[in-house]
Amino acid sequence: MPIVVLVTAREASQILGIGVPSVYALASAGHLVRHAPRHSKNARAYDLDQLEQRSLSLLGYHDSAHPHWTNVGEVADYLGVHRSRVRQLLDADRIPFVAAPNGRRYVRRSQLEVIANARDLRVGRVRATPEVHAVGD
Q: Does the global pTM surpass 0.75?
A: no
pLDDT above 70: residue 25: yes
Least confident span in 2-6, 11-15, 52-56: 2-6
Q: Count CB-CB contacts under 10 A for residue 46.
A: 25
Interatomic CA distance for residues 118 and 106, integer angstroms: 20
Question: 28-42: b or e for each residue (b if 16 or more CB lie within 10 Å)?
Answer: eeeebebeeeeeeee
User: For residue 79, with 0-12 CB atoms within 10 Å meaning exposed, 13-18 middle and 19 or more buried, which class applies?
Assistant: middle
pLDDT of residue 33: 83
Average pLDDT, integer, range 48-75 = 80
pLDDT of residue 37: 62
What does each C-alpha distance from 59 to 26, 38, 92 come to in angstroms? Answer: 17, 33, 24
How confident is residue 136, by pLDDT bands cut at 50, 70 and 90?
very low
Q: Are 49 and 82 in contact (CB under 8 A)?
A: no
pLDDT above 80: residue 73: yes
Average pLDDT, integer, range 109-125 = 83
pLDDT of residue 121: 81
pLDDT above 80: residue 71: yes
Which sequence spans correspond to the domains of the chain? 1-58, 61-129
**61-129: CATH architecture:** Orthogonal Bundle (1.10)
